[in-house]
Amino acid sequence: MSLATLDMTSDDQITILLVEDDRIAAQLVMHLLRIGLPDHTLITVASLQETLTELDSNPTIDVVLLDLNLPDSAGLETFQSVYAHRSQTPIAILSGDSDEAIAVEAVRRGAQDYLVKSRFDENHLSRAIRFALERAHRQHIEQEVVAAERVQQLLYPSTAPDVAGYDIAGAAFAAEHVSGDYFDFIPMSNGRLGIIVGDVSGHGLGPSLKMAETRAYLHALTYETASTKGKLTNVDLADVLTRTNELLLTSQTWQFVSLFFLSLDPSSGTYTYASAGHDGWHLKADGSPTGLESTGPILGVINDADFANTEPVTLAEGEMLLLATDGFVEAMNAKHELFGKDRLIDVLTSDPTATSEAMLNNLWQSAREFSGGAPQTDDMTGVVIRRLSVS
């Protein structure tokens, strides 16, 4: 039975390693297990060395019932030796009355539970074993999620691009440990910069995996398209989205992806974009917004979907672009009112001297304050591109 696939309602047999040198105590545990946990396989050993040998040779052991006082080890040293040997296997301590304080300390150091020998029956024993398995299973999942979070952070750009005459920043604020949102910067030749913001439906571990898959397709196809056309300045954004859509349709998952892919030419102050069901905003120097509408459907749903590139648009000095996921505008307060586009624009334009990074942080904080401290229900991700005024 694997902890990664443990189903606490299943009828699979649990393999238990009983570590007990007292023959009468061991027989009592065997008897109680037959009554309270009939679907089990029991292995018994009577020393620390036998325990470590069995753990080395038997990967099927699901839980260890551990007496702390053995012929070749005593107290916390016994627990520490077993835990260090195979920490992923849950351990429940079998302690005497005088060892209860030590058993509690063992739990603090990583044991899943403890039982005082003179105080448990078949129900307490079976519950302790199932609790140890379930708790270890949850800890295993949490560790995997934390690991996934670390990996995902490596997929985001580590720094914002340094482009003369522009202030550019991106940020992702996840609703859970990992996010289905995505932002990226792809340097192109002749100083052009590819900028991407995407949103996988849902949030959490599943969408984060879809996000990583989408990112891989976009990077590979961007460079492949460029190589066939001679250089990265000639990347066909719409073609990249078309082929990404085709690849996502082969994944056989329910998630879809909205995505905005923009190419900025800093030297001319112009940009073009192709979008898959994802809008953006172009804010004039006076704060008035112009919507950047999608040029194609969301990715991963429609076969033979068509995407289009826009004509070049000028980003004048003092103007900015916002590419953001819908977590911001759809943040809701206790009255079921949405944060909305107007509040979003107001926050962005409230302090013209703020940096792009500060604007994104202010936007997230304003959306969270608007929600009145309620749990964040969706990921919030954005990129701000400001063309600086030349004094």
One-letter amino acid at 142 equals: E
Q: Which residues contact 385 (CB under 8 A, 6 or more apart)?
A: 166, 167, 168, 195, 262, 264, 315, 320, 321, 323, 356
Coil, helix or strand for 99?
A: helix
Q: Among 71, 120, 77, 72, which Cα is nearest to 97's?
A: 120
How many Å separate Cα 295 from the centre of its chain?
29
Burial (CB count within 10 angstroms: exposed 0-12, middle 13-18, buried 19+), residue 269: middle
> Domains of the chain, with CATH numbers?
3-148 (3.40.50.2300), 156-387 (3.60.40.10)
Structure tokens at 169: 């920043």
Give this prediction's pTM.
0.65
User: Would you give the DSSP letter of residue 8?
Assistant: T
Q: Is the pLDDT assigned to residue 260 strictly greater than 80?
A: yes
Other C-beta atoms closer than 10 Å to the C-beta of 287 total: 14
Tell me if residue 379 falls in helix, strand or coil: coil
Of the candidates 70, 108, 113, 71, which has an alpha carbon nearest to the alpha carbon of residue 91? 113
Other beta carbons within 10 Å of 76: 17
Is pLDDT above 70 for 232?
no
- On the 0-12 / 13-18 / 19+ scale of CB atoms within 10 A, 154 is exposed
Q: Which residue has the higher pLDDT, 247 or 1?
A: 247
- What digits encode the pLDDT tens for the residues 53-101? 999 999 999 999 999 999 999 999 999 999 999 888 999 888 887 778 8
- Quote the tokens at residue 318: 């003092």
Q: What angle do CA 262, 179, 232 make, to 5 degrees?
A: 25
Q: How many helices (H) and strands (E) does the chain have?
A: 9, 15
Measured in whole angstroms, the distance separating CA 313 from the mean position of its chain's CA atoms is: 36
- For residue 160, what are its two tokens? 């914002």
Give the pLDDT confidence of 145-198 residue by residue, as tens digits.
Answer: 665 566 556 667 888 999 999 999 999 888 776 667 889 999 887 788 999 999
Asked if residues 259 and 214 have their Cβ atoms less than 8 Å apart, the reply is: yes
Is a pLDDT exceeding 80 seen at residue 349?
A: yes
User: Could you tell me if 263 and 192 are in contact, meaning their C-beta atoms sit under 8 angstroms apart?
Assistant: yes
